[in-house]
């Protein structure tokens, strides 16, 4: 018997977004695109086993949103057909810490390392002391 993928529930949530019909938000939102779902799943498949689960949501443009809340940060990744982007905000003030376009998985992994896990947690996840 093969062990279950550590993020199978997260992947299931991303796939379930495809059931949303056009206008799902009552403001004319597009259906969630397969391209956005595949991009989000590609990131999830690259996670270390100790990355906390984000909240999964759909975006009105047909994209997939992954969002983490830490004690002081809100980290949001938007995977969309046309352009994907990220932002990190301070939760107490709403101040923008960093934002940009998502170009590759390494950039996203670094963003998660810096703002979700912190370096020490990532080292533990990779088996380093």
pLDDT tens track for 65-115: 999 998 888 999 999 877 789 899 999 999 998 898 887 777 777 788 787
Residue 13 scores a pLDDT above 90? yes
C-alpha distances in Å from residue 103, one per residue of 3, 19, 69, 79 = 31, 27, 23, 11
CB 46 within 8 A of CB 105: yes
Handedness of CA 113, 85, 79, 89 (dihedral sign): positive
Confidence (pTM): 0.82
pLDDT at 122: 43
């Amino acid at each position: 018997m093969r062990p279950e993928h550590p993020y199978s529930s997260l992947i299931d949530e991303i796939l379930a977004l495809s059931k949303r019909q056009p206008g799902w938000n009552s403001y004319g939102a597009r259906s969630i695109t397969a391209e956005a779902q595949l991009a989000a799943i590609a990131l999830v498949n690259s996670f270390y086993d100790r990355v906390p689960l984000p909240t999964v949501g759909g975006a009105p443009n047909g994209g997939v949103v992954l969002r983490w809340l830490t004690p002081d940060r809100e980290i949001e990744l938007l995977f969309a057909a046309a352009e994907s982007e990220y932002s990190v905000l301070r939760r107490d003030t709403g101040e923008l810490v960093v934002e940009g376009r998502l170009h590759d998985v390494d950039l996203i992994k670094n963003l998660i390392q810096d703002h979700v896990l912190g370096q020490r947690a990532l080292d533990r996840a990779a088996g380093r002391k």
